[in-house]
Amino acid sequence: MNLTIFPWMIAVPLGASPLVYLAGRLFRPSWVRGLALFALLLSWIPFVLIFTGQGMQLSFNVETIGLQADGISLLLAAVTLALGTVVVLFSGPYMAGEVGEEKYYAMLLAMIGFMIGLGCAKDLFNFWMWFEAMAVSSYLLVAFYREVPASLEAGVKYLVQSAVGSVFVLLGIALVLGNTGSLDMDEIRSATGTLPQSGLALAGAFFVIGFGVKVALVPLHTWLPDAHSQAPSGISAMLSGVVIEAGLIAMLRALSTLGILSVSWGMLFLGFGTLNMLFGNLMALQQTQVKRMLAYSSLSHIGYMLLGIGFALSDGQQAGAQGAAFHLFNHMLMKGLAFLAAGAFMFALFHQNQVQRSLEVKDLAGAARKYPLAALTFSIALLALGGLPPLAGFMSKWQIFVAGFQSGNGWLMGLVIFAALNSVLSLAYYAPVVNMMYRQKMGDAIEQGKSIPLAMNISLVLLALSIVVIGLWPSLMNWLTEPAGQAILSAFGQ
Amino acid sequence: MTLDPLNAVLIGVILLLAVGFYGLLITRNLIKIVLVLQILVKAVVIALVLAGKASGQPGLGQSIAATVIVADTIVAVVALALAVQVRIRFGTLDLSKISSLRG
């Protein structure tokens, strides 16, 4: 049997997107929730078949345009589908009755499809097309509450910075095309060996700047805290848990075509990783708004992933790349859960009381008495983000640290110690939130809060259970992270 | 000294990029920012055609350039739609007057 089934992972959400919109327009708006959830569950079928079926074809060509599924694509597909499904489930009650509810689901499904496509693209220009399409759908979602000035402002900032970033990416593509005469990633990889290095290094710099805006490398991060805190909570979870990671994977893919320079890329990743960790933590410490704090903590978690990839590229440690892939997956679970739990509180405390404001840390005082389940899952997410054993976040950080130590290089070991200290520093802003929920007297906001709907609780519990289970048995995820780690290393020619 | 046509185009691209980035630094009006982004993308479009020509694949460069124009139009439309909303909600298009999100 020679089935090409993986393109359906991309085709189903993309095809469902206009259908969901039409269904919402022509029939009852309440149908769109079920339809969107159904479409995402349907996209799981090809994904599962890739792993269980026999002899699946993992590349697909229409004329000269090709798609392929390797370890990195499957990691991105798993992360996107998992969080996407939970977010659609969560958004059911959260977005119910909003103006333009059908547009929300249509754009969300489109964004999911474009992101899976981004992971599978085989040629540099198609790759940019997926990237840009994903970006456009995320601009619209960030500015979804268009009557709220702050979210409009966040959307404008995000759009302008991303648009400049994509200009840089295109300049890099033009340089690569001019130098090699090809856009196929494999052809570029084999052509770069004989070419002068200066043009390619410049193209690499353009890729780092261009994709760096999406990944939120410090100092290109300024859009991130605004966009992540002002978007609807489900979208915050998607942006923080999947979109910036998709940017990271895009950057790795583009840079790996210039793989000949891989050692210096490793050093670059280590440098940016260190900067992101420190800056993200220091900024998060000052925040009083819950979602803004979580947004800054995403910066520091991107730092851990960059560190793992840096260890892999500068020292050939496969454990580093695998750890980065594992942390990417865990970050999706943890940050997704944290944003959704914050969203559940916002829904119960503010939206149902027709209040329109952001959630402050002090609003959560005594939340555990009234909302034991939401408070427990939020605490699990925060403690896992802070890297407390035996939760999932600890396991992936540990794997990255082990990779650093195995290198036996004094500098890299120093970086591991720095990263571990940063992890402790991050507890300084996670722990007070947990403390606020469990040990304070109930505040006014909590007392006036309404109940949290069942669909939201289900999605919170699903994510919290995965964090605990993966934390106890981290080797459960090896089927996903090991091929991804190998694919990262082999793409960079090591 | 005679100027090779390819080099002349390259100089044009660099000048356009310079104009675009300078504009990005000094502009605060949202509509003008959209225009500046368009200047930058047009520079890139010319650069892609040039890259195709220089590497002996003119067809590839041109088809990519046409696709970039389409994709970028969508971004411009979204940006202008946001600009309309900004004008309605804030009563101004000046970005320095609408920023409330800090830190």
How many CA atoms lie within 13 Å of A474's alpha carbon, on the beta-carbon side? 21
| CB nearest to A171's CB, from B37, B44, B95 | B44
Residue A117 confidence class, pLDDT cut points 50, 70, 90: very high
Please tell me the predicted confidence (pLDDT) of residue A27: 84
Q: What are phi and psi of A438, to 5 degrees?
A: -100, -30
**Contact: A159, B89; criterion CB under 8 Å:** no
Token representation of residue A193: 């060996």
pLDDT digits (tens, 9 = 90+) for A275-290: 999 999 999 999 999 9
**Alpha carbon of A457 to those of A326, A462, B68: distances in Å?**
26, 9, 43
Instruction: Tell me how far apart the terminal alpha carbons of chain B are, to the nearest angstrom.
Output: 54
Mean pLDDT for all residues in chain A: 89
Please tell me the predicted confidence (pLDDT) of residue B41: 95
- Alpha helices, DSSP H, located in A389-477: 392-406, 410-439, 444-447, 454-472
ipTM: 0.94
Please tell me the predicted confidence (pLDDT) of residue A259: 65
Token representation of residue A272: 């940016």
Note whether A174 contacts B: Cβ–Cβ < 8 A: yes
Residue A250: inside a domain = no
**Along chain B (103 residues), what's the average pLDDT of each consecutive run of 10 residues?**
81 94 92 94 94 89 93 94 92 82 61
| β-pairing verdict for A59-62 and A65-68 | antiparallel
* Rg of chain A in Å (alpha carbons): 21
**Contact: A163, B79; criterion CB under 8 Å:** yes
Tell me if residue B71 falls in helix, strand or coil.
Answer: helix
DSSP A347-374: HHHTGGGT---PPBGGGGTTHHHH-HHH
| CB nearest to B24's CB, from A164, A175, A177 | A164
**Contact: B68, A170; criterion CB under 8 Å:** yes
Note whether B40 contacts A: Cβ–Cβ < 8 A: yes
Please tell me the predicted confidence (pLDDT) of residue A263: 63
Higher pLDDT, A200 or A160: A160
pLDDT digits (tens, 9 = 90+) for A402-418: 998 888 888 889 999 99
Residue A280: inside a domain = yes
Token representation of residue A55: 């002899």
**Contact: B79, A174; criterion CB under 8 Å:** no
Question: Are A35 and A47 spatial neighbours (Cβ–Cβ below 8 Å)?
Answer: no
Token representation of residue A247: 């940017």
Please tell me the predicted confidence (pLDDT) of residue B1: 55
Provide the residue ranges of all domains of chain B, joining segments of one domain with +.
5-98
pLDDT digits (tens, 9 = 90+) for A211-234: 999 999 988 988 999 999 999 999
Give the mutation candidate from B27, B75, B77, B100 for the A interface (greatest A CB count, under 10 A).
B75
Output the CA angle A277-A279-A284, nearest 5 degrees: 95
Please tell me the predicted confidence (pLDDT) of residue A1: 42
Rounded CA-CA distance A139/B85 in Å is 14
Rounded CA-CA distance A296/A319 in Å is 27
> Which of A341, A358, A359 shows the shortest CA–CA distance to A150?
A358
Count interface pairs A-B at CB distance under 8 A. 111
**Burial of residue A148 (number of CB atoms within 10 Å: 0-12, 13-18, 19+):** middle
**Contact: B50, A147; criterion CB under 8 Å:** no
Output the CA angle A91-A374-A469, nearest 5 degrees: 95
Which chain A residue has its CA at the smallest distance from B46's CA? Answer: A174
Note whether B75 contacts A: Cβ–Cβ < 8 A: yes
Rounded CA-CA distance A303/A296 in Å is 11
> Which of A369, A395, A294, A301 shows the shortest CA–CA distance to A338?
A294
Token representation of residue B100: 């409330």
d(CA A224, nearest CA chain B) in Å: 11
Token representation of residue A448: 């006036």
Rounded CA-CA distance A110/A108 in Å is 5
| Omega of the bond leading into A232 within 30 degrees of 0 (cis) | no
pLDDT at A2 over 70: no
Calculated CA dihedral for residues A193, A195, A201, A206, nearest 10 degrees: -100
Residue A186: inside a domain = no
Range of the domain at A431: 261-494
> Which of A247, A441, A229, A177 shows the shortest CA–CA distance to A335?
A229
pLDDT at A205 over 70: yes
**Contact: A177, B57; criterion CB under 8 Å:** yes
Q: What are phi and psi of A97, to 5 degrees?
A: 80, 0
> Which of A224, A266, A263 shows the shortest CA–CA distance to A245?
A224
Note whether A342 contacts B: Cβ–Cβ < 8 A: no
**Burial of residue A92 (number of CB atoms within 10 Å: 0-12, 13-18, 19+):** buried
Rounded CA-CA distance A224/A218 in Å is 10
CATH number for region B5-98 = 1.10.287.3510
pLDDT digits (tens, 9 = 90+) for A435-477: 999 988 888 888 888 889 999 999 999 999 999 999 999 888 8
Rounded CA-CA distance A122/A354 in Å is 48
**Burial of residue B62 (number of CB atoms within 10 Å: 0-12, 13-18, 19+):** middle
Rounded CA-CA distance A349/A345 in Å is 6
Number of structural domains, chain A?
Answer: 1
Residues 6+ apart with CB under 8 A from A477: A326, A329, A470
Residue A276: inside a domain = yes
Higher pLDDT, A97 or B69: B69
Output the CA angle A245-A280-A425, nearest 5 degrees: 120
Question: Are A233 and A452 spatial neighbours (Cβ–Cβ below 8 Å)?
Answer: no
H/E segment holding residue A174: helix A149-180
Q: Which residues pair with A62 in a beta bridge?
A: A65
pTM above 0.90, yes or no: yes
